[in-house]
Structure 1
Amino acid sequence: MEQQSKRIAALDLIKGMSVIGMIIIHTLLIFANVKSQSETVIGSFIVFLGRGTSIFLICMGITFMTSSHQSLKSAVQRGGLLLVAAFFMNFMKFIVPVMFGFASDNFIQKYGWHAPIEQQYLYLELLGDILQLAGLSLLFIGFIRKYVKNKYGILAIGLFIALVSREVSGITIDYPVINYILDLLFSNDFPAYVYFPVFPWMSFIIIGMFFGKWYLELNYNAKQLFKNMLYAGLLFVALGAPLVFIYGEYHYNGFYHMGPGGVIYFAGWTLIFLWAIFTATSKIQENSFIRILKYCSRNLTSMYMIQWILISWGKGIFGYRQHGIGFVLLLIVLYMVLTFSVQFSLDLLKKKAIHGLSTDLNR
């Protein structure tokens, strides 16, 4: 049981780091000018960190297999809630600034729109982000967890989704609602831009499920699990690198809509990174920073939504992609403070609500 708690702690640290990282990355992407993003060392490094989405997804797959909630019903319910949260976040990010007149003019101009942009509400509301990916994926992976008992069968499904991802990309029909679902699944760019289509991004979650299943079979031996991740990661990089660098047009095709070689290549580096983080943190004692990371991990979804909403609202104050790296670093500190402050406030309100309910029940 001690090994199990260490393993969970390692994943919590990684997910906590991803919360801190996404605030840094999103602040830079929204407020830094093109020169600061591409021609400064700090900006280029932060943009590079933004390619770490697969880390979160593989961790999601591992924890999905080891969670105490193992029913298909719980997976479907969680998926549905994430989809609701995704569209609520889009409403708060995009529609609210337009409704109340503090949307950034140069953000509107960047997309070639003319204020007022009420006619673009549908496009803004339906933008596909990682919450839509996670919600839809849960509707699928719940069935995989329930009915596929062999870990290599799980891995085969993940690799198959990556393999066919470029072939199914762009599937469309003439019914807008169904077409939007196909957009979220396969990315056909109608009616909105989907950053993380289920094909191929769900592959990373299922690869994580493979290692989660393996962890259970290893009787919670975290050290051996992460060693296996290292070996698998090296193999994946060796297989994926030639495909990406020689046949990149098909196998990579850009970060957001990569082909099978890109999935294998990025999964490989992600597994190596997870092993490195586990090795580096396995001996670290509990301290304030570790507790902050664990707090972020517990509140990952809500803090993801909070930071995106705050950063999007900030476009009306600070403008869109207008600032140098020095000012953006100050904004990163500001958004760190704001995100944690809002999360702490929500925790306090939740605690007061629970206390009030408990008091009423005891009367």
Structure 2
Amino acid sequence: MEHKSKRIAALDLIKGMSVIGMIIIHTLLIYANVKSQSETVVGSFIVFLGRGTSIFLICMGITFMTSSHQSLKSSIKRGGVLLLAAFFMNFMKFIVPAILGFAPDNFIQKYGWHGPIEQQYMYLVMLGDILQLAGISLLLVGFIREYVKNKYAILAIGLLVALVSREVSGTLIDYPVINYITDLFFSNDYPAYIYFPVFPWMSFIIIGMFFGKWFLELNHDSKTLFRNMFYVGLVFVAIGAPLVFGFDAYNYNGFYHMGPGGVIYFAGWTLIFLWIIFRITAKMKDNKFTSLLKYCSRNLTSMYMIQWILISWGKGIFGYRQHSIGSVLLLIVLYMVLTFSVQKLLDLLKKKKPVIVVDQPISVE
């Protein structure tokens, strides 16, 4: 039976959907004007979808535990590759357009830069995206997988990361290089802006690891696993909701820098959503659409990088945050086509010239 497979088919489809979703979300965030993002139904819905980062991270944690690559060395190697990929992506996204002179003025002015251009370039290269989070997390969670064998102990570590996140936020050791590392972990906006600091975002990955371990203990019964996700999700929402809505300054304080209540609340809804998606995808038969999603899942890391680079380069052609929702929808179609075209081109180049590839480092499979 399919649900006894060691590979969770629903996760492949969910990760594939995330590739499609991120192209839609990032195109809107870069090209739509403020009114289109906040005052239209379509724009508001897409911005809402952008809050789905926790879905991807929990899936990452599950696949990390069920992957065939189980060694600590493998986890550290993949984490290092991801960090290199993150800085390469930032270089391609920001520095190439700046050097070649097709970065729009209003994008440059957004940061209110003063001082030497080299300092501005360094700022952009060091911007912390989800790739940096995934890379650093892999360097750390490999030790959890190696040495912590009890699933509830894994869950406790994940919740502990969330519980201390507000207390350690802004921790700074004001010393060159070290200050950037503390930024990636604790996000104090010095010297770079980190969208996804390790505290609290690694919590979602470790919560995913808890369910990955549970899946193995259930002898790969995905139906039971997702039902358990639903029940745990209800408990998390019940605990997180009063914290978020009653003490929001400490427990939420914005999407990117959540406190413990925010993490538990978002994790709860994420687990419920994953159960819903599992119920829907369980009835799906293999067809061209599911094959497309599986293709996206297999190439998640490279497609993530491709779409961000293309969308960033396009600012020089289409402008930055200047378009109505109708124009943005056309641009979404354009970037879908471009992203898949570049990925297919890379596939052809790989076939012609054998290269060493770390397969799917972001989904750690």
TM-score by structure 1 length? 0.96
Q: 1:8 to 1:61 in 2, by over 3 A?
A: same
Match for residue 66 of structure 2?
Answer: 66
**Does residue 38 of structure 2 align to residue 38 of structure 1?**
yes
Match for residue 112 of structure 2?
Answer: 112
Shift, 1:113, TM fit: 2.9
RMSD: 1.3
Match for residue 175 of structure 1?
Answer: 175
**Does residue 8 of structure 2 align to residue 15 of structure 1?**
no
Paired with 1:352 and 1:4, the residues of 2 have a C-alpha distance of: 37
Please state whether the residue corresponding to 1:354 is helix, strand or coil.
coil
Please state whether the residue corresponding to 1:256 is helix, strand or coil.
helix
Q: Is the 8 A contact 2:5 2:220 kept in 1?
A: no
* Structure 2 counterpart of 1:252, one-letter code: Y
Match for residue 214 of structure 1?
Answer: 214
CA distances 1:208-250 after superposition (whole Å, capped 9, x unpaired):
0000000000000100000000000000000000000000000
Matches within 5 A, 1:130-209: 130-209=130-209
Shift, 1:4, TM fit: 3.9
Please state whether the residue corresponding to 2:9 is helix, strand or coil.
helix
* Structure 2 counterpart of 1:209, one-letter code: M
Q: Is the 8 A contact 1:108 1:115 kept in 2?
A: no
Paired with 1:116 and 1:333, the residues of 2 have a C-alpha distance of: 38
Q: Is the 8 A contact 2:6 2:66 kept in 1?
A: no
**Structure 2: 5+ residue stretches without partners:** 356-365
1-10 vs 131-140, greater mean Cα deviation:
1-10
Paired with 2:230 and 2:7, the residues of 1 have a C-alpha distance of: 15
Paired with 2:129 and 2:89, the residues of 1 have a C-alpha distance of: 10
Paired with 1:104 and 1:343, the residues of 2 have a C-alpha distance of: 26
Aligned sequence identity (%): 82
Paired with 1:142 and 1:217, the residues of 2 have a C-alpha distance of: 19
Match for residue 274 of structure 1?
Answer: 274
What is the total number of aligned residue pairs between the two structures?
Answer: 355
Paired with 1:249 and 1:354, the residues of 2 have a C-alpha distance of: 52
* Structure 2 counterpart of 1:39, one-letter code: E
Q: Is the 8 A contact 2:7 2:66 kept in 1?
A: no
Please state whether the residue corresponding to 1:293 is helix, strand or coil.
helix
* Structure 1 counterpart of 2:234, one-letter code: L
TM-score by structure 2 length? 0.95
Paired with 1:112 and 1:119, the residues of 2 have a C-alpha distance of: 13
Paired with 1:334 and 1:54, the residues of 2 have a C-alpha distance of: 27
114-123 vs 180-189, greater mean Cα deviation:
114-123
Shift, 1:329, TM fit: 0.2
Q: Is the 8 A contact 2:165 2:259 kept in 1?
A: yes
Match for residue 248 of structure 2?
Answer: 248
CA distances 1:231-287 after superposition (whole Å, capped 9, x unpaired):
000000000000000000000010000000000000000000000000011021100
CA distances 1:22-70 after superposition (whole Å, capped 9, x unpaired):
0000000000000000000000000000000000000000000000000
Match for residue 361 of structure 1?
Answer: none
Q: Is the 8 A contact 2:38 2:44 kept in 1?
A: yes
Match for residue 358 of structure 1?
Answer: none
Shift, 1:112, TM fit: 1.4
Paired with 2:293 and 2:5, the residues of 1 have a C-alpha distance of: 15
Please state whether the residue corresponding to 1:312 is helix, strand or coil.
helix
Shift, 1:115, TM fit: 10
Shift, 1:109, TM fit: 1.3
Shift, 1:149, TM fit: 0.2
